Structure 1
């Protein structure tokens, strides 16, 4: 079976469900590749013979983001800082003491704006729901920022990739899926560079605020 035949055999509903599920679980605080999944689905929607709707990809991404963040908020609100301790031990690569201290400083300082703009940054996207709950950000303020941020992120990403993917399909016909695969890699490069910039910001914060990092480490 060729790659084209394999992709044509995937039901569009399965694509939407996978996008919603992966983004939802990531938003709950589990480090999964939500953005990569959304981008991949948007690329599929740009291949018109696959019958995958870019509108429903964006809707699925929005639903996953809003529901996942809300679940993460609820858990963080009821469990408190014990959730951060559990995450630090369970996913130490993503939830180290300095990452938690940095994210907590950002969310404490910027509040709902951190919820909105954090949707566009991998590290803060994972923290948004659980940490907002831990910090007792009022839910009536959290929900609008969460919904608007999730919708903006999902629709902007999906429609941007869809438009670029449609153009790329016309220019890269001779390269078929190999060309589009290269396009996917290129489209994710900006996100990777942003992630590195955030990583440098985390290291800079830890260097200048050692007491905040030590306080997180002392929690368990």
Structure 2
């Protein structure tokens, strides 16, 4: 059984549920690969396996609900919550990460919630940190909703249309050319990550 056949055998409903849950839990403050799940589902939509509008809608709903729950948890737990998380998960919630996120919130306020949707570290910390810093909920919610719609909808649309175009293009390539494209993409990704870290 090939991968494509296996993917098509998964009921559509479960794909939408997984997209919404993973992005919701990530937005809640738990590090999960929400962006990878969204991109994968969008590529599946490009192949006609799922509906891109439902993928984008579930991703948006998961992001909004997850961030709102994260806001509530952060509001109740305050700085003590981040201290405990920093001891347990220093790679994601260490003092350096939380300190940088706090500095962004102090400088940009509610805009950090909106733009934080597009940055991996802030996507995880935005809700709980906004709650812990006592941002007014209505302002947080407005930035949360707008950021979620733009991030989830935009990512789904871009990946979907690129996937459709790539599907047509790849049908015309030989296997050797396909391997060359994959190697080039991997090398470029590694190079960009190293540049971003430095």
Q: TM-score surpassing 0.5?
A: yes
1:30 aligns with 30
Whether 2:156 is the aligned partner of 1:144: answer no
Q: Greater CA deviation, 91-100 or 54-63?
A: 91-100
Query: How far, CA to CA, are the matches of 1:119 and 1:196 in structure 2?
Result: 22
Say whether residues 1:91 and 2:89 are aligned partners: yes
**For residues 75 and 196 of structure 1, do their structure 2 counterparts lie closer, same or farther at Cα, with a shift above 3 Å needed?**
farther
Rounded to whole Å, the distance in 2 between the matches of 1:87 and 1:23 is 20
- Residue 90 of structure 1 deviates from its aligned partner by 2.4
Distance in 1, matches of 2:61 and 2:149, equals 8
1:105-144 matches, cutoff 5 A: 105-144=103-142
How far 1:189 moved relative to its partner? 3.9
Structure 2: tracts of 5 or more residues without a match: none
Distance 2:25 2:77 in 1: 18
Change (3 A) 1:105 1:196: farther
Tell whether the 8 Å contact from 1:123 to 1:195 is kept in structure 2 after alignment.
Answer: no
Q: How many residues align?
A: 192
Normalized against structure 1, the TM-score is what?
0.80
TM-score using structure 2 length: 0.89
- 2: CA distance, partners of 1:56 / 1:129: 24
Q: Structure 1 unaligned runs (5+)?
A: 201-220
Q: What is the root-mean-square deviation in Å for CA atoms of aligned residues?
A: 2.5
